[in-house]
Structure 1
């Protein structure tokens, strides 16, 4: 065993297990979360929100997608506290069970035709539980992987959290494809959409088996062993680290890009009221291909952030993705399927990953071990909550019959990505090449326990 291996947190083996657990757990949990997003665009307007006004049905259905994000800040407070006081592993198991059970229940719901107004009410309740559950997933998984990762490789290993999320989105879109191909429209709307939700029982058991194998992180274990676990990590984060929490809120507005690509874009392309009339099956392939490319790109960008820093790829990716939203929506408006595929790959699969692959390491590095999950979870989920309200906003300001939907929605999306970029520029760099700065006054992102451990790793494995 080399000196470098001896100083790695529980060795290379546990690092790989943590990364695999974070990847698979995030993939399974976000499969649950995003099958709802797909169904909300494709079928929920017809079966849960029937209306003589199709615009009202579309807006109502997309609003229930946003409801899940409204619950996320509440979940972030509770699950962030649990993650910082009882451990990263425990909070991830709680998230998994809540998500799996609530998603399976959506597949059992009666429709509006069967129970009237109770159908959308029950749908909203289950979506709130989903939002509560997913609030601790990325912050918990990112913190777990980050705290197991060796010195100078945090960006690379933490990026696997988001690679898992992208894989979950692929599964969410891909599971609808054979149903869309094999079923008539009546059968798909009548019962076929329920199958992906009921398959969550498999997701639940598979995720539990995988996540129970990973050890608690050494940083949390050392903190707890020295009596450093705070009684109120949420208060500590809000009191001592609110500037970085505000930055994370603003940076998390970058979620506008997947909102445009998968939620509003799907409604714009498929819903008859907009008049585009793109085939539902063809459109389902767009996020699948984009996410496949993203899975390939993410670890390379994560590794790049270990070499050149976190902020540069995040800012470049944010601004470029914002500009491409104009072209993407324009391609849909003219029903140019090849162009829509190409822009989807560029916007979502490549340039957006400059942000997406890096924030799982950048966000938790902004906070100390004792308040890491709380600080990241609360701030990130407030930001994503705001962007989740955008599909309904887009459908309101650019409703069916609007003259220039791509320009209106594209301008809003680019403005939001500019805000995220400014927030990122204002944050301090946290990557490996700036480790020397972590011991300086004012650099509070790493506490003494974690700093000493990283310094030992840097001595054993110098840059």
Structure 2
């Protein structure tokens, strides 16, 4: 089995001769709408952690401590994601991708909507941040099974020669979800004054989740199960769990370790430019909050445009090459972008963010799903993809805002040690990507 284990061609297309166009359109809609809603919910929290929660739920702390505590609750979601990845990965590899994805979306939406109804620390004291933390746990658990399933729903339905394009579709949803979340927050801060926004305005962004989730669940339930899973279901080895199969094969263990390292840069990059940069610009550079949110929205919109083209490039040149080149460019761009941030100009801040987040991140993020999906065979693919993405999320994503905040604080406000850390993650991921391509031989 291991001789052909990492051959990307083993991911079956929906129909190599005449793809069902109606079904493919539903797959595209389900992947795009579903991931947009899920990431809107998840990154709505990150934006609120930067702008609201340090005041509403940790009001008695200093600005630095309150921000750090807010980011701690943010990181907790990433700690829960591997647990959700293992649980929903098992379900997805045994029951199917489609129903698993509907369940993760429902859990995510309920948790997000309840966040918008939480009492503040001024109203119920320490119970407020405890409730916030519990809902964040549910969010992280649900999202743990989301990304891998959304990628597989697209990739395993893809026609021949278009897996890169289809694997990029869920990634567009992330850019749209982030952009939608920051745009909603920018709009609410424009409509309400500062006191109204902190008192009740921010809650409206969370309430919107209810409508989005209903639409997303309905769309996902209209999609057929993936051809790859249907073909593999008859021969599944039910005597061993997918996780045991994943850890039991030496080739799969190497693939998993390499994937965990290769994903480090992507996780650190996204949470630097999409999360930490908001706090850095508004607190350290004293830039206007609405302007900063609009800059992130613009960068996310550019990313949403870039991703489909990068997905097409992955089909032509191979997802591993596109991913590796993008990660290397990210490492080269970190110091210049922080220099642009240091000018204190919203124009240069936006330019830097568009380049490093919209263009460069869009390039390698588009290839990521297809690249990592090709590491695993169908019977353990949901679990394997979840392990790589969600376990790396702890150190690569969830801890990044904490690490950067601490490094900059320790350097007296200078960002260069933090920038050095980000470059180091890029180097690690480039080396791991080369290992995957040359030693494990994934395209």
> RMSD in angstroms over aligned alpha carbons?
2.0
Match of residue 255 from structure 1? 267
CA distance in 2, matches of 1:88, 1:10: 19
| Cα distance change of structure 1 residues 220 and 52 upon mapping to structure 2, 3 Å threshold | closer
CA distance in 2, matches of 1:186, 1:59: 23
- Alignment partner of 1:356 is 2:365: yes
CA distance in 2, matches of 1:120, 1:50: 11
| Cα distance change of structure 1 residues 103 and 429 upon mapping to structure 2, 3 Å threshold | farther
Tell me if structure 2 keeps the 8 A contact 1:331–1:337.
Answer: no
Match of residue 461 from structure 1? none
Tell me if structure 2 keeps the 8 A contact 1:110–1:119.
Answer: yes
Tell me if structure 1 keeps the 8 A contact 2:306–2:363.
Answer: no
CA distance in 2, matches of 1:227, 1:394: 44
Secondary structure of the equivalent of 1:99?
helix
Which residue, 114, 132, 149 being the options, matches 1:105?
114
Q: What are structure 2's unaligned runs of at least 5 residues?
A: 1-12
| Cα distance change of structure 1 residues 231 and 41 upon mapping to structure 2, 3 Å threshold | same
Match of residue 160 from structure 1? 169
Secondary structure of the equivalent of 2:263?
helix
Tell me if structure 1 keeps the 8 A contact 2:43–2:177.
Answer: yes
Q: TM-score, normalised by structure 2?
A: 0.92
CA distance in 1, matches of 2:91, 2:214: 22
Which residue, 377, 384, 401 being the options, matches 1:391?
401
Tell me if structure 2 keeps the 8 A contact 1:37–1:65.
Answer: yes
Which residue, 234, 247, 266 being the options, matches 2:278?
266
Q: What are structure 1's unaligned runs of at least 5 residues?
A: 431-441, 447-463
Secondary structure of the equivalent of 1:277?
coil
Tell me if structure 2 keeps the 8 A contact 1:260–1:325.
Answer: no
Tell me if structure 2 keeps the 8 A contact 1:238–1:375.
Answer: no
CA distance in 2, matches of 1:410, 1:132: 30
Cα offset, 1:264, TM superposition: 1.5
| Cα distance change of structure 1 residues 15 and 409 upon mapping to structure 2, 3 Å threshold | same
Q: TM-score, normalised by structure 1?
A: 0.88
CA distance in 2, matches of 1:180, 1:207: 27
Tell me if structure 1 keeps the 8 A contact 2:332–2:423.
Answer: yes
> How many residues matched?
427
Cα offset, 1:294, TM superposition: 0.9
| 1:307-456 superposed matches below 5 A | 307-387=316-396, 388-399=398-409, 402-428=411-437
Match of residue 312 from structure 2? 303
CA distance in 2, matches of 1:242, 1:119: 42
Match of residue 207 from structure 2? 198
CA distance in 2, matches of 1:5, 1:374: 21
Tell me if structure 2 keeps the 8 A contact 1:251–1:383.
Answer: no
Tell me if structure 1 keeps the 8 A contact 2:16–2:160.
Answer: no
Secondary structure of the equivalent of 1:214?
coil
Tell me if structure 1 keeps the 8 A contact 2:148–2:386.
Answer: yes
- Alignment partner of 1:96 is 2:108: no
Cα offset, 1:429, TM superposition: 7.3
Cα offset, 1:313, TM superposition: 1.5
Tell me if structure 2 keeps the 8 A contact 1:19–1:158.
Answer: no
Structure 1 stretch displaced more, 384-393 or 162-171: 384-393
